[in-house]
């Protein structure tokens, strides 16, 4: 029963599944009183991110906290429990033609709490900002079971320190997110995606930068490189033209690079933006392009997630958007064409690279990726790697001066190391 809560090879001695915020408080209060250590679990899709915990007695699965607590469509506000999945929330909001402008991969498994705690990223960040910009309030259960609240459930926010933000990206090391209040918005009346394929990242960059610097901001723009992208480009080409992509430089079809541009607005505006975007693609030496909607559109954007089966190594880098294409190009060039899947959110400068490789070659890949990211002026972190490498690494990379403040915050919020001890940067 505990094996599905194994973390880096360590199993907890028991699993707790609180069904309410009060239960969650009582659970953590007991764990704390017993001087034990707990790890908070949401959908479990990103539990591989983090340093190995130093103690692990109890898995606290919060997926039972999955209710919509308050939803006021006319105020554009929704308050949910943290264990609700992103997909379930979107379904509820969709009944009123509304949505949360946040689209992490695997929404049917990803919980709101886990997505916030692990600072998950989705393509919509390009036009709506990070998920932290959509949060207007939060309640958190601290390590000793105390329930705290910050912010509110009105879009015009209340005074006081914005404590909610502390827990976003903290991987459950300062507290368990219990409820979250979000500002939401209308579903766009129309949404289409222009998918274009190129024979190199370089030529995709020409088109991409013209669109980013163009007359309108696409809802999302992402470049995807690697065999999955090439195979998908081939599928689209065959479906729309009857022929596989012909590369202008005669490169093997398997090396096509995909550029996805999502356009969302009124039908007339989307029509005009589609025309502008396809003419840009044509002018920028695209080997081909197609306009997607419905399932085809969703299938293309699903490529923005981590490959399945899980890769041996995943690194994430955040850098200046203008440098994102170059980094994708460097990473793509650093290894054989078939071993890598790269997702470049070029509009906001987040690049995720996933390697399929044997464990022995991973340390070398980490170093070449770290060099490429550092040379591109980016911040580097390891999201997934063989567990055996973790004792010798800090997967969050170099934090520098802020680390001391982070240590003091942990000391303040969780002095006894009840929550995921050793998991965060600097093994906090």
Catalog residues that contact ligand FAD under the rule CB under 6 A: 39-47, 50, 62, 82, 104-106, 109-111, 113-115, 117-118, 120-121, 171-172, 176-177, 305-306, 308, 352, 420
Q: Which spans in 8-64 are helix H?
A: 21-33
DSSP 114-170: HHHHTT---TTHHHH--GGGGEEEEEEE-TTS-EEEEE-SSSS--SS--THHHHTTS
Closer residue to ligand FAD, CB minimum distance, 126 or 203: 126
Answer for the pair 140, 178: CB distance below 8 angstroms, yes or no. yes
DSSP 82: T
For residue 326, the minimal CB distance to ligand FAD (Å) is 21
Closer residue to ligand FAD, CB minimum distance, 330 or 381: 381
For residue 236, the minimal CB distance to ligand FAD (Å) is 21
Closer residue to ligand FAD, CB minimum distance, 357 or 419: 419
The number of residues making up the chain comes to 428
Answer for the pair 387, 9: CB distance below 8 angstroms, yes or no. yes
For residue 402, the minimal CB distance to ligand FAD (Å) is 19
Q: Cα(132)–Cα(346) distance, rounded to whole angstroms?
A: 19
Closer residue to ligand FAD, CB minimum distance, 102 or 325: 102
Residue tagged 């972190």 (tokens): 381
Closer residue to ligand FAD, CB minimum distance, 142 or 233: 142
Closer residue to ligand FAD, CB minimum distance, 40 or 373: 40
- For the record, the structure tokens of 371 come out as 């060099």
For residue 320, the minimal CB distance to ligand FAD (Å) is 20
For residue 43, the minimal CB distance to ligand FAD (Å) is 3
For residue 146, the minimal CB distance to ligand FAD (Å) is 15
For residue 251, the minimal CB distance to ligand FAD (Å) is 26
Closer residue to ligand FAD, CB minimum distance, 67 or 272: 67
DSSP 52-71: PPS---EEEE-TT---EEEE
Answer for the pair 27, 64: CB distance below 8 angstroms, yes or no. no
For residue 120, the minimal CB distance to ligand FAD (Å) is 3
For residue 280, the minimal CB distance to ligand FAD (Å) is 27
Residue tagged 């991409």 (tokens): 208
Residue tagged 């408080």 (tokens): 25
Closer residue to ligand FAD, CB minimum distance, 88 or 205: 88
For residue 338, the minimal CB distance to ligand FAD (Å) is 19
Q: Cα(301)–Cα(421) distance, rounded to whole angstroms?
A: 35
**Three-class SS state of 76:** coil
Half-sphere exposure of 367 (CA within 13 A, CB side): 5
Residue 295 CB neighbour total at 10 angstroms: 8
Nearest to 144 by CA among 427, 413, 428, 421: 413
Closer residue to ligand FAD, CB minimum distance, 55 or 109: 109
- For the record, the structure tokens of 343 come out as 């997702």
Where are the strands (E) in 310-349, listed by range? Answer: 313-318, 340-345
Nearest to 264 by CA among 274, 255, 256, 254: 274
- Determine the residue with CB nearest ligand FAD: 114
Closer residue to ligand FAD, CB minimum distance, 277 or 356: 356
Answer for the pair 263, 270: CB distance below 8 angstroms, yes or no. yes
DSSP 104: -
Answer for the pair 199, 255: CB distance below 8 angstroms, yes or no. yes
């Amino acid at each position: 029963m505990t094996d599905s809560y194994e973390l880096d090879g360590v199993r907890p001695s028991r699993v707790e599944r609180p069904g309410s915020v009060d239960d969650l408080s009582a659970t953590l209060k007991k764990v704390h009183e017993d001087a034990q250590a707990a790890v908070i679990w949401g959908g479990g899709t990103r539990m591989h991110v983090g340093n190995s915990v130093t103690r692990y007695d109890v898995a606290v699965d919060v997926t039972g906290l999955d209710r919509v607590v308050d939803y006021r469509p006319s105020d554009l506000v929704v308050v949910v429990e943290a264990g609700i999945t992103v997909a379930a929330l979107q379904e509820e909001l969709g009944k009123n033609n509304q949505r949360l402008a946040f689209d992490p991969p695997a929404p049917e498994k990803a919980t709101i709490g886990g997505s916030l705690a692990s600072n998950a990223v989705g393509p919509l960040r390009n036009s709506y900002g990070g998920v932290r910009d959509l949060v207007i309030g939060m309640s958190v259960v601290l390590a000793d079971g105390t329930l705290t609240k910050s912010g509110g459930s009105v879009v015009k926010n209340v005074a006081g320190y914005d404590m909610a933000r502390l827990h976003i990206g903290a991987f459950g090391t300062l507290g368990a997110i219990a409820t979250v209040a979000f500002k939401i918005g209308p579903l766009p009346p129309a949404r289409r995606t222009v998918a274009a394929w190129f024979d190199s990242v370089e030529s995709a960059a020409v088109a991409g930068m013209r669109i980013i610097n163009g007359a309108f901001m696409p809802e999302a723009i992402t470049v995807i490189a690697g065999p999955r992208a090439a195979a998908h480009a081939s599928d689209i080409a065959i479906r729309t033209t009857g022929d596989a992509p012909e590369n202008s430089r005669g490169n093997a079809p398997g090396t096509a690079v995909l550029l996805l541009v999502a356009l969302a607005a009124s039908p007339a505006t989307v029509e005009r933006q589609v025309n502008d975007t396809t003419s840009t693609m044509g002018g920028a030496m695209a080997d081909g392009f197609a306009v997607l909607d419905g399932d085809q559109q969703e299938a293309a954007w699903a490529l923005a997630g981590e490959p399945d089966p899980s890769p041996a190594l995943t690194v994430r880098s955040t850098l200046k958007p203008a440098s994102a294409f170059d980094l994708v190009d460097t990473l793509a060039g650093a290894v054989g064409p078939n071993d890598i899947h790269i997702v470049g959110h070029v509009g906001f400068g987040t690049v995720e690279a996933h390697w399929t490789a044997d464990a022995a070659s991973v340390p070398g890949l980490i170093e070449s990726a770290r060099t490429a990211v550092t040379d591109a002026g980016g911040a580097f972190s390891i999201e997934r790697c063989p567990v055996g490498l973790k004792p010798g690494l800090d997967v969050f990379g170099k934090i520098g001066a802020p680390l001391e403040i982070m240590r003091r915050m942990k000391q303040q919020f969780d002095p006894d190391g009840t929550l995921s001890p050793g998991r965060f940067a600097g093994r906090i």
